[in-house]
Amino acid sequence: MLLRCFIAGLALVAAPALADPPALPALHADAKHTSVSGLSAGAYLAVQLQVAYSATIVGAGIVAGGPYDCAAGNAAFVELCMGQLPFFMPGASGFVGTAEAWAIAHEIDALSHLRHRRLYVFSGGADSTVRRAAVDTAVEVFRRLGVDAANIAYVHDIPAGHALIAPDATHGCGATESPFVNRCDVAGAPYDQAKAILTQIYGTLQPPAASPPTPVPFDQRPFGSAAALMADAGRVHVPAACASAGAHCRVHVALHGCMQAEESVGDAFHAGAGFNRWAETNRLIVLYPQVNRSASNPFGCWDWWGYSSVDYARKSAPQMKAIMAMVKRLTQR
């Protein structure tokens, strides 16, 4: 009954918030082909998920994100790790050493899994929020951790501001303003970043749907402890072909940036980033977890410096555990 009610809701445009959102359904998705992407703080968390859960996450899209565990649990290092002090950007060796030590201690997955993982990395030419020095270091860390150079697509020649790039966005390419979704034309055509990310991870895609349904709310509360400091509700896009258990679809986790959660920008991220069009025709469930503003997180950022736990970059991190529990739910029968 719960699953039938959820599927019926897929055809509806839900209200921005529900007092009692429905449960996330078990859809028997393919647990071996989960991927993740994110912008800004979402990109830093995508990096953490890819490294810490490398046995499960097969690829990542990193848009304006820096190296793994760059802040080392200290909020004072945030600007440094965003490349705001380019002459003082830490080298890759320390971050690689941390990951190696944690893998030996079994606090993250074995780094050998990273060899065959596929990455899309983006640094906008007009991005003055997370500068290219930070993104360059993230790429170098992944290379030193064993990701095959041929499996990394690094795009840094588009004059974009601090934003995701989507064909239907209204902000100009170089903008850095809410809702942080821009349009950039490349070779006379709008650049489709969602397509680029999913193609890099999964290969050739079927043509996109013209008008995919709006992602529907689900209850996030059963998946994380109070320490995760996440919103009560997230969003999920379930293609029609994936709406019955046993469909064996894949899961992509799309992580918003700071000031980009639903409470701040409405549906601009989960409906406007462009993933749903491709997901609908490629048997891809898109999970949109949400983290709201709070006293310890006034801009609604994902935790990449330690405001939720000293273990924020390890598998025991409250937010990463919550997200992976959501993925596990989607992969259950």
Q: What does the pLDDT profile of the chain (333 residues) look like in tens digits?
A: 333 333 333 333 333 444 689 999 999 999 999 999 999 999 999 999 999 999 999 999 999 999 999 999 999 999 999 999 978 888 999 999 999 999 999 999 999 999 999 999 999 999 999 999 999 999 999 999 999 999 999 999 999 999 999 999 999 999 999 999 999 999 999 999 999 999 999 999 999 999 999 999 999 999 999 999 999 999 999 999 998 766 789 999 999 999 999 999 999 999 999 999 999 999 999 999 999 999 999 999 999 999 999 999 999 999 999 999 999 999 998
What six digits make up the tokens of 147? Answer: 């990701």
Active site residue 33: no
Helices H, strands E: what count in the chain? 9, 12
- One-letter amino acid of 148: D
Catalytic residue among 35, 37, 40, 123: 40
Catalytic residue among 37, 54, 109, 127: 127
Cβ atoms within 10 Å, residue 212: 20
Catalytic residue among 33, 162, 237, 252: 162
HSE, CB side, 13 Å, CA atoms: give it for residue 319.
Answer: 31
The domain ranges of the chain are: 26-331
SS3 143: helix
Q: Is 166 exposed, middle or buried (0-12, 13-18, 19+ CB in 10 A)?
A: buried
Active site residue 162: yes
> Alpha helix (H) ranges present in the chain?
2-9, 41-52, 78-81, 92-104, 132-144, 193-202, 262-265, 275-281, 318-331
